[in-house]
Structure 1
Amino acid sequence: MPMETYLIYLAAVAVFFATPPDTSQLLIISNSVRHGLRRSAYTIAGDLTANGLQMTAAAFGLAAIIATSASAFIWIKWLGVAYLVWIGVQLILTKDQTDNVAATASGQSFRLFRQGFVTSMANPFAVVFFGALFPQFIDPVTPVLPQLLILGVTYLVVDGAILLLWGWLGIRAATVLKRFSFGLVNKVCGALMIGAAALLASKDFQPQRQ
Structure 2
Amino acid sequence: MEIQVWITYVVTVLVLMSTPGPSQLLMLSNSIGSGFRRSIYTATGDLTANFFQMVIAALGLATVIANSQHFFTIVKWGGVAYLLYLGMKLLLSSPGNSIEQQGQQRSKSSLYWQGFITSAANPKAVVFFAALFPQFINPESGLLMQFVVLSSTYLIMDGVFLCCYGKFAESIAHRLHGNMKHQLDRMSGIFLVLAAVLLGNKEVS
Structure 2 equivalent of residue 35 of structure 1:
34
Name the counterpart of 1:49.
48
With normalisation by structure 2, the TM-score equals 0.92
Amino acid at match of 1:13: V
Question: Per-residue displacement from partner, 1:131-190 (whole Å, max 9, x unpaired)?
Answer: 000011010011101100110000000000001111122123323443535432332111
CA contact (8 A) 2:57 2:130 kept: yes
What's the Cα RMSD here? 1.6
Which whole-Å CA distance do the structure 2 matches of 1:177 and 1:198 have between them? 27
Equivalent in the alignment of 1:165: 164
Confirm or deny: 8 A CA contact 1:76 1:122 kept in the other structure: yes
Question: Which residue is equivalent to 1:6?
Answer: 6
Cα distance in 2, alignment partners of residues 62 and 74 from structure 1: 17
What SS class does the counterpart of residue 141 from structure 2 fall into?
coil
Q: Which residue of 1 aligns with 2:76?
A: 77
TM-score normalised according to structure 1 size: 0.90
SS in 2 for 1:180: helix
Residue pair 2:173, 2:181 contacting (<8 A) in 1 also: no
- Tell whether the 8 Å contact from 1:177 to 1:184 is kept in structure 2 after alignment: no
**Aligned-pair distance for 1:55?**
0.5
1:114 equivalent in alignment to 2:113: yes
Q: Aligned residue for 1:61?
A: 60
Structure 1 segments unaligned to the other structure (5+ residues): none
- Aligned position for 1:195: 194
In structure 1, the residue corresponding to 2:129 is in which secondary structure?
Answer: helix
Give aligned pairs, total. Answer: 201
- State the match for 2:150 in structure 1: 151
* Counterpart residue number, 2:87: 88
Stretch deviating more after TM superposition (55-64 or 182-191):
182-191
CA distance in 1, matches of 2:132, 2:145: 16
Give the Cα separation in 1 of the matches to 2:185 and 2:24: 17
Which of 99, 102, 105 aligns to 1:99? It is 102
Displacement of 1:72: 3.4
2:62, 2:130 within 8 Å by CA — same for their partners in 1? Answer: yes
